[in-house]
Structure 1
Amino acid sequence: MARSVLVTGGNRGIGLAVARALAADGDRVAVTHRDTRPPDGLLAVRAEMTDPQSIDTAFDKVEAEHGPVEVLVVNAGITRDRLLLRMEERDFTEVVDVNLQGAFRTVRRAVRGMMRARWGRIVLMSSMTYAYGAPGQVNYAAAKAGMLGMARSLAWELGPRNITVNVVAPGLIDTDMSREITDGRRRHLLAITPLGHAGEVEDVAAAVRYLTGESGRYVTGAVLPVSGGLGLGG
């Protein structure tokens, strides 16, 4: 049966791949975007992750078109990379506000309908930086690590209503964002990736399909690395 799906930050990269994969499975998929052109073939709604009213409005539009959101994938995020001594406080707070508090705001809005329906699937898109860290990403790594605690606490709260909450943690994935890293950094990441190559956005989408599908119905509070072994054991 087709489900109402919302993917935040689903206008490009990993988010778009997830949205396309779930739409191909027959789900009614909506994505949020900000300033970039919305993708073709998907319901696109503007949303600002730092603004609860904007998130409410986005959900209202999705619910009017597709019904209450049953599957939520929190993918929207930003980076403000700087070494600690050069990092302004706003660089830290902005990243945490969008990436972590934005996840909180979005999940809080989504679970209203899920709890009434006594069913739901939530996936938070983290990063393997939660495990191995990265120079210049104190803010980003802290926000992505926070998603683990959020998911595991929510798994306890929402499990009795048959709502699962899981985390997907990509490693080096071939996206526009990853292509911006320096050659030296890329070589380092590949050197500590047992499979020795970057992943594709479709690899991450497959993990989300599993966690939100029937096969993943008994998985909650889990962290699923899609990293080629990067951060092994983290």
Structure 2
Amino acid sequence: MFKILILSFLIIVSSIETKAQKIEGKDSTDVNEMLSGVMNRLDIYNTKWLTIGVQHDFISSTFGLQISNGYDERPLIHFEDFSEDFVFKLQGNTDFNKDYSYGISAGWKYPRYLSLLAVEFYKYNYPTRDFDFINFNISAETFIKNTGIIAKLKLGYHDLNNENNIGLELGLSNIFIYQKLYAGLTTGYYFDYFTYSAFIKSFVYKKLVGIEFGYENIDKYDFLKAGLTFTFKR
């Protein structure tokens, strides 16, 4: 009886070791495929997002809508839960009279050495504030290693009241509460004037309801915005 128990024990141990080796081999193959680029690590996950939001500019007295696939929410969502490489945001604002603006942002996540490479276009037509503005820019973002800080470099073209300028902007943002809150600051120089901006973005209820606050200064023009967003899995 004792010999039978010993033999059974050895058979079980041998079976466990064989399964462990198979699992280890599979994991090693998966890792090698990821590193070689044969298999995209995001193929394991397939979570896509849709964000719909409203916003208000207190200074310009405009109201707006925005829609994206999680463009601004990216830093608050774990990369394994964000399967799309292409990200975008569309937005528009109006005072329901003469003033209006619209814009589009589109980017590609994780190109080489970067966390995002993006292009943006914004058009403002605010005759009540004597503000006619076009902003076209290309930006690159990267995480600073071992921190929650994101560094951003932006090369932009401005047409401000029919005056053309090319400039450079530098920004830093930080994740203060993991998957909950991040904020950032940006400053730029366009030869004839400086630009400044600051923002706070946070999820206040799970990954569903978010709030955002932003301030921007372009030459002598100020903008102060607040927004409410709803983010869904799709």
TM-score between the two structures when normalised by the length of structure 2:
0.31
Q: Could you say which structure has the larger radius of gyration?
A: 2
- By relative contact order (CA 8 Å, sep 6+), the higher-ranking structure is 1
More strand by share: 2
